[in-house]
Structure formats: C-alpha cells, structure tokens
Amino acid sequence: MVHLRIVVPSHQTQHALDLLEHTPSVANLIFLERAAQRPEGDVILCDVAREDASVIVSDLRELEIDREGSISLEDIDSQISAAAVAAEKAAHGMPTDAVVWEEVESRTSENVELSGSFLAFMVVATLIAGVGILTDQIILIIGAMVVGPEFGPLAGLCVALVHKRGDLVKRSLTALAVGFPLAILASFLVTLVYDGTGLIPESFSQDGHPFTEFISQPDHFTAVVAALAGVAGVLSLTSAKSGALVGVLISVTTIPAAANIGVAAALGDDEVWGSAAQLAINLGAIVTAGVAVLFVQRRLYVRRRRAHLGDAAREAAGLPLGHSRREGSVTYKRPDEI
C-alpha cells in the first residue's frame, strides 16, 4: 500500500473526495477540513493499493491539485487492516510488479546531482579498485563495486530518455561526464605516487594479475553481463527493492574499468585501451537495457491508465471519461479532438 497526503484547495475538495470514495483500491480515507496553512486548504489522507497509485495520482493532477496544493506519497511497510486487504484485492496485478512512476522520478532526480559527495564516492571507489588491481585482490574490487555511486546517474539517464525529459538527461550526463574523468585522473595521479614511492608490489605485472585481468579484456560476454546488470538495476529501481546488490552489478564493469584506465596510463601500459573499451561498452549496454525495460513498463502503465479513464470514479469526480484533460498527459486530447 501507498499512503497519500493530499493538500487540496477547498474548491476541489469534494471532487477529490468523490474520486477517492468511488475507487475500490483506496482505503482508510480521512478528511481534515481547513487543516492546511501553507498552502491553505483541506487535507485528505488515504491509502491506495500500489498497483493503482500512479493512476490515482494522475487523476488528482488533472484536478490541478499538484499546482494549487500538494500530493505526497509514502510507502507503508506494514499495515493491519481488513479494508486495506480489500483495497489490494480490488487492484489488478501484483504489488511487487507495480511501478509508482512519481516515486521513480523523485528517486532518480535526487541521485543525479553533481554533488561533492557523489564525486568523493566516485574517486574513493576508483582508488579502492586501483589498489585491488595492483595487488590482484578481487575482494578490493568487490569493495569498490559497493562504494561506487554511478548507478544513480545511469538510472536517471534511462528514466529521462523514456520520459523525454531533457533537463534530467543533461543532469545525468553531466554527473557521468564529470565523475568518471575525475575518478580516472585521481587513479592516474595516485598510481604515479605509488610508483614513485615504491609502493607498487614487486610481484605486480600487467601481464600477470589473473584475478583482475578481465577488466581490460572485453569479450562477447561483456555486453551481455552489462545488459543484465542494467535490467537488474532498473527492476530494482521500479520495484522499490534494495539497491545495494544492484550497485555491485552496475559497478562490476564500470568502476574497475575506470580505475584500470588510470593505473595503466600511469604505468605506460596498453591495457588502457582495453579498459576504455570495457567502460564504453558497458555504459552503453547498461543504458540500452535499462531504457528497454523502462519502455516496456511504461507502455504497460499507459495501457492501464487508458483502461482507468473509463472508470466510474472519474465521472463522480467530474473528470472526463476516455481521455485526460491535463495537457502533456499521454492520454490528453485537445478540445477540438473531443
């Protein structure tokens, strides 16, 4: 279930209440008259089955509530309620498969910012991977995978491409375009320091690190693994599962490759080109697979949204049947088309 807190202007309150009261997948509906101060209005609280959360929010946005008031969403971890069970049964599909698109957009928008902490994590993860390469320690490579934060901008880019949001594309690409070169530069400079101070193990050889040599040797499995990582990442994002394992999957072909570019360049080894190819192939495959998964999920949502447009709850709320009246919606129709 998803909990909604709606601050609604008084002239739209009855419409919103009618919509929610006539929707079988809504439960625990509460109305607080004149409870909101900024913006002024009434407050409506309710729980909605996760499968119908986005379609209900779309209806509320048609009432201009997001512009004149606010709509907040919060996942409910556990709830003891017969009404909630009935609401979930009334919704079609499985909660674990449902995508709350507002939640996905919010989460990705927060994780694509080019912040100091993002750059710090990129540098730290790459330096850890660099030490793992120099010592041929796979456990350090795994540690770097966990620390790597690049899944945020990659997921943001996938969402932006599917939703055709140029602003999010720009922010995601900026984070990646600054983060990876900075991390590679840090790996290069630190490796020079290691080499100059004699910290590089005497046993290290560019031709003799079997546990980590896969980083600079892309093959036909490279794109396959990266694509699978992209699929896993997007599914984790849209199903609200933990992103910890996903971070490992995404980083397995990105952070270590970026680290090896810096290490190989500092030591004058031609592995730099293999690592660069590894990084480029995997970034492309991850984004391609992620966009494909999101596109399919989005089409399923659009089909569900179109079916919902004929629901009696919309008529009770004074919304048109068969189409959206909100410009920009996938189901919007101009007045001359109605």
- Three-state helix/strand/coil letters over 163-194: HCCHHHHHHHHHHHHHHHHHHHHHHHHHHHHH
320 is a domain residue: no
Q: Is the same domain home to 84 and 123?
A: no
223 shares its domain with 295: yes
pLDDT band of 251, cuts 50, 70, 90: low
pLDDT digits (tens, 9 = 90+) for 7-53: 999 999 999 999 999 999 999 999 999 999 988 999 999 999 999 99
Q: How far apart are CA 50 and CA 306, in angstroms?
A: 17
Given this model, what pLDDT does residue 244 score?
Answer: 45
Residue at which a domain ends, from 31, 64, 98: 98
Domain with residue 12: its CATH number is 3.30.70
pLDDT (tens digit, 9 = 90+) per residue, 105-114?
888 887 888 8
| pLDDT, position 93 | 80
- pLDDT digit string, tens, across residues 54-69: 999 999 999 999 999 9
- Assess whether 75 and 140 both reside in one domain: no
The reply to whether 330 falls in a domain is: no
Residues 266 and 141 both lie in one domain: yes
Would you state the pLDDT for residue 338? 44
**pLDDT tens digits, one per residue of 227-249:** 988 888 888 888 755 444 455 55
Domain shared by 260 and 176, yes or no: yes
Give me the number of domains the chain comprises. Answer: 2
> How are the residues of the chain apportioned to helix, strand and coil, as percentages rounded to the nearest 5?
65, 10, 25
User: For 117-133, what is the mean pLDDT?
Assistant: 94
Whether the bond between 256 and the residue before it is cis, its omega within 30 degrees of 0, is no
> Of 39, 65, 98, which residue constitutes the final position of a domain?
98
Higher pLDDT, 257 or 202: 257
Residue 223 lies in a domain: yes
- pLDDT tens per residue, range 134-165: 988 888 988 888 888 888 899 999 999 998 88
| Percent of the chain at pLDDT exceeding 90 | 54
Per-residue pLDDT reduced to its tens digit, 295-318: 999 999 999 998 888 889 998 989
- Is there a domain that residue 22 lies in? yes
pLDDT of residue 222: 86
pLDDT at 213: 74
Asked whether residue 154 is assigned to any structural domain, the reply reads yes
In a domain, 274, yes or no: yes
Q: Are residues 135 and 282 in the same domain?
A: yes
Residues 39 and 124 in one domain: no
Cα 190 to Cα 331: distance, rounded to the nearest angstrom? 54
- pLDDT exceeds cutoff 90 at 202: no
User: Do 123 and 182 meet the contact criterion of CB atoms below 8 Å apart?
Assistant: yes
40-51: per-residue pLDDT in tens? 999 999 999 999
Kindly state whether residues 24 and 148 are assigned to the same domain: no
pLDDT in tens, 76-95: 888 899 999 999 999 888 88
Token digits of residue 218: 């892309």
Which range of residues forms the domain containing residue 58?
A: 2-98
Residues 218 and 128 in one domain: yes
Is there a single domain that holds both residue 111 and residue 239?
yes
Question: What pLDDT sits at residue 46?
Answer: 96
Percent of the chain with pLDDT over 70: 91
Q: Give the end of a domain, one of 98, 119, 151.
A: 98
Mean predicted confidence (pLDDT) in 248-277 = 85
Residue 246 and residue 130 in one domain: yes
Across the chain, mean pLDDT equals: 88
The pTM of this model reads 0.85
